[in-house]
Structure 1
C-alpha cells in the first residue's frame, strides 16, 4: 500500500509541472498581439512608463525563462504577484480557497446523500417504475448545465418563495453554521446535481452487475436475508467503481464552480479564476490552475488509498 502511495505522489510531480506549463503557454498565446504592460500601465501611459512596467514584471523575458523562474519561486511557496492588484497570489488563493472548499464539501455531501440511495433504490427494483424514473431523472440532470440549474433554483427557492438566500456567502464566524449552510445549499445543489446523477447511474449499474455474481447467489442459497446480501456482499464489492466515480466528480465540481459562483455572486476560486482569465492576469491564473490540479490529484490519491480497504488484494 505504501508503495502505491509513493508511486502516485511521484507521478503527480511531473503532471503538476505539465499542467502549469500548458496553462502558461496557452495564456502566452492568448496575449499575442497585445501588450500586457500597456494594459497594466493604463491609458495615457508614456512609452517609458510602459517599458518600466515591462521590466519590473519581467514581461520582456522569453516565456521559457519566465516559466522556469515561476517554478523556482513556486517551490518556496511564492506563486508570484497579481499583475493588476499587486496582491501576492498565495494570499489571494488562501482568501478564496476556504469559500470554494466549503462549497465543494457541501456538493460532495449532497452527491453522496442523493446519488447512492437513488442508485441502490433503482437497483433493488430493477425493471420497475422506480428504476425507470431514477434512470430518466439521472439522464435529465446530466443534460442540464450547473449554471442553468442554479438559475432555476434561485427563481424557485430564493425569489418566488424566499426560503433561501439568492446570492452571497457568509462564514461560520460571521453568521454561524445555520447561515453558512443556508447560503451554500442552493449553489451546492446546482453543483451536485450532475455528479449525483452520474453516481446514481454508476451505483445502480454496479449493484445490478454484482447481483448476478456467483458469490451473491451463494449467499442467498445459504439463507442470508436480502438486506444482508445487499449491504454485506453486493454493496461492498460494487463500492470500488462507486468510489472511483465519486473521486472523479471533484474535477467536475471544481470546473462547475466557475459558473455557479458567478450565478450566486460567491467570491471563491472560480470567480477569482474567471476574473484573472478576463484580465489575462497570468500569475493568478497559474495559481488557480495549480491549486485546482493539486486538489484533484489529492482526491485521486485518496481514492487509490481507499481501494486497499475495499479490495484486500491491492494491499499485497
Structure 2
C-alpha cells in the first residue's frame, strides 16, 4: 500500500507539472499584446515597452515560467495584471460560491442516480426499467443551458419558489438566501450529471447480477433481487466511487456555464471574465488551481478505492 501511495503521489506531481507547462504555453500563444491592452490604444510605444518590462513580459518564456512556479512554491498563485489583487485571495472568495454549488450538485446527482440506476437494472425488460433507462438517456443529452432555463421558467417564473439569478451580497451571512440562490443551479448540474451516472450504475448493477457469487447466493435460497442487493451492490459501490472522481470534472465544467446563466459570482464566471480581459497571470493561476483540484480528487479516489477493495490489495 505504501508503495502504491508513493507511486500515485509521484504521478500526481508529474501531472501537475505537465498541466502547469501546458497552461502556461497555451496562454502565451493567444493573439494580442497584454501590455498594449492594459496601456490602452492611445499609449505610445515607449509606454508599452516600459509596461512590458514592468510586468516581466520582456523576459524569455522559461524565465517567466520558473518565476511563476517559484511563486506557487511560496504559496502565491500570482497577481492580477488589471487589478493588482492576489489570485489566491480572489479564488478563496469565489470558492465560497463554487464549492457549495459543486457539493450540492454532486449530492443531487448521487441521491437520485444510484437508487434509480439500481431499480432500472432490477426491472430490466419491464416497462419501468425501460422507461427509466430511456429517461436517463434523454436527460443526459439535454444541453445544460436549456435545462437551466427550463428550471428557471418552472420554479422561478411560474411558481415563484426560488430566485432566478444572482447571489446575496451578504453571502453566507444570510444562509437561507445563499442556499436558495444555489438550488436551481445545483439542480441543473446535478440532474444532467446524475443522468449520466445513472446509466453507469445500471450497467454496473447488471454486470454484478451476472457474477458467480450473486448466482450462488440466489441458488442458496435468496431471491434474485435480494441476492443482488446483499452481495452485488457493494461491488457496484466500489465502481461508483471511481466514477465520482470523473464526475467532479464534469461538475466543474458545468459550473463555468451555469454561473454565467445564473449570474453567480463564482470561480467559473471569474475565469470567463479574466479570459476576456486577457489577464494572463490570473487566468493561469485559476486554471492551475482547478486542474490541481481535479487531479487531487482523482488521487484521493484511487487511494480510497485501494483501501476499501481487498481484491486490489491481494493482487499487489
The TM tier, using the shorter chain, reads over 0.9
Alpha carbons 1:236, 1:310 under 8 Å: kept:
no
Report the TM-score, using the length of structure 2 for normalisation.
0.94
Alignment partner of 1:5 is 2:27? no
Conserved 8 A contact 1:202-1:241: no
Q: How far does the alpha carbon of each residue in 1:57-113 deviate from its partner, in whole angstroms, 9 at most, with x for none?
A: 101112222111111111111111111111111111111122111110001100100
- Whether 1:302 aligns to 2:304 is no
What does 1:12-51 correspond to in 2, within 5 Å?
A: 12-31=12-31, 34-51=32-49
Structure 2 counterparts to residues 49-60 of structure 1, below 5 A: 49-60=47-58
Residue 43 of structure 1 and its aligned partner are, at CA, apart by 3.2
Partner of 2:127: 129
1: CA distance, partners of 2:136 / 2:307: 29
Q: TM-score, normalised by structure 1?
A: 0.94
Question: Does the CA contact (< 8 Å) of 1:37 and 1:53 recur in 2?
Answer: yes
Q: Which runs of 5+ in 1 are unaligned?
A: none
CA deviation map 1:86-145 (0-9, x unaligned)? 111111111112211111000110010011011011011111111111111111121112
* SS in structure 2 at match of 1:306: helix
Shift of 1:172: 6.5
- Pairwise mapping of residues 95-244 of structure 1 onto structure 2 (< 5 A)? 95-170=93-168, 173-176=172-175, 178-224=176-222, 228-244=226-242
> For each residue in 1:180-226, what CA deviation from the matched residue of structure 2 results, as whole angstroms up to 9, or x when unmatched?
32211110111122210111111111111111111111111222355
Q: What are the superposed Cα offsets for residues 10-63 of structure 1, whole Å, 9 maximum, x if unpaired?
A: 1111211211211211111113xx221111012322333222211111011122
Residues 3/232 of structure 1: CA separation in 2 closer, same or farther (3 Å cut): farther
Q: Is the 8 A contact 2:260 2:269 kept in 1?
A: yes
Please say if residues 5 and 301 of structure 1, whose CA atoms lie closer than 8 Å, have aligned partners that are also in contact.
no
Measured in 2, the distance between the counterparts of 1:219 and 1:306 equals 28
Q: Does the 8 Å CA contact 1:110/1:192 hold for their aligned counterparts?
A: yes
Contact 1:27 1:280 in 2 (8 A): no
Which 4+ runs in 1 deviate beyond 3 A?
A: 170-173, 224-228
- Tell me the secondary structure at the aligned position of residue 88 of structure 2: helix
Q: How many residues align?
A: 313
Q: Which runs of 5+ in 2 are unaligned?
A: none
